[in-house]
Structure 1
């Protein structure tokens, strides 16, 4: 995790994250903001992973958060906790090489 002056604003909290493509997740962040446990909802129900985060604050209430999963999937979020929105970019291995997708989403704090 990239060191910041204060704990990330999402540290110790849980959010429902709804992505513009219909995917939905329950994201639970560790109390120190260094780890994330995501759980798939809807079509992704039953999938989950605990990952180490790389975090940097880019503006008040706005955080850049990134991680790499064992599958090779990489995810980068720009979380705006004031507006409760996320811009997410993920990449994965697809036919013919690496594929990247840019999405938007909404957050709802549930814990």
Structure 2
């Protein structure tokens, strides 16, 4: 489970930003995770308490927003939701499509006092 290591890096980044802005407390951290990201949102939620223990984020609430995976067909240009197991465009049945989004992992918001 690499999510703990990823979260520890997020904590470092957020703590640096908090110190840089001379903030004293963070109330909420919002992460955006794509449906096809290499981190699993439920694992992130489970690891969060361990990652923030003893840090400036220890009493911070974590919110996770899921970014849908979307693809665009290279033949008919149809944009569609990419579900697990997709191999072809649902409109023209072409196997030639590109992933537009859904692999993201981003810090969206740091809500502070």
Structure having the larger proportion of residues in helix = 2
Q: What is the TM-score of this pair, normalised by structure 2?
A: 0.25
Q: What is the TM-score of this pair, normalised by structure 1?
A: 0.25
Q: Which has the larger radius of gyration?
A: 2
Identify the structure with bigger relative contact order (alpha carbons < 8 Å, sequence gap 6+). Answer: 2
Structure having the larger proportion of residues in strand = 1
